[in-house]
Amino acid sequence: MSYYENMVSRQRKWMFYLLAIYVLGAGFTPYQQIFLGLLLGGCVSFYNLWLLQRKIDAFAASTEKNESAGGLGSISRLAAAALAVLIALRFDAYFNVISVLVGLMTSYLVIVIDFFMSRFQKG
Amino acid sequence: MSGALAAAIAVGLAALGAGVGNGLIVSRTVEGIARQPELRGQLQTTMFIGVGLVEAMPIIAVVIALMVM
């Protein structure tokens, strides 16, 4: 498995753990609105992470083969984030909007923490 | 009306900044892969982290613009 594939699988694993924690929080704590917001934001964030990983892999592969590359899918990711916020604003009885924002940033936290952890492990 | 205009300007400027940032990252990565294809994995990882961090800003801008609109 290459360096990039290792990183991708690690990040997906951490995102699954975080989503599981959000689900447990929504089911078993009194802060249901907050955890549902985190879960909505986290799901969209996971989709964004998956899309970014896929697009960057395809982009690098096409560069290596000297083919024309497509875009990186930024508009799709922005649209997904906007959709999550619109859902949260429309159903504000169920989702806390600030939690959705924090949930949307989950994957970026995972990327940064994973980067530093792999750096320190390598020494 | 003015709220929508402000939101559009905020999102547009954030997208513009992210576009320029992503362009710089991608161009350097493509240059690196073209020079040394065997380093593709590491360059791809660096590109991924860079693009991810750059894209956090327009996403926050979109969310805040929608919230204040």
- Domain residue limits, chain A: 2-92, 94-122
Contact assignment for B29 to A7 by CB distance below 8 Å: no
Q: For helices A106-122 and A3-28, what crossing angle results, to 10°?
A: 130
Q: What is the mean pLDDT of chain B?
A: 88
Query: Would the pLDDT of A122 be above 80?
Result: no
Chain B residue whose CA is closest to A78: B59
> A64 at the B interface (CB within 8 A)?
yes
Q: What's the pLDDT band for A33 if we cut at 50, 70, 90? A: very high
CA distance A113 to A111: 6
pLDDT at A73: 83
- Spatial neighbors of A57 by CB under 8 A, at least 6 apart, are A4, A8, B44
User: What pLDDT does residue A123 have?
Assistant: 60
Q: Does domain B1-66 have CATH number 3.40.190.10?
A: no
Res. A100: pLDDT tops 90: yes
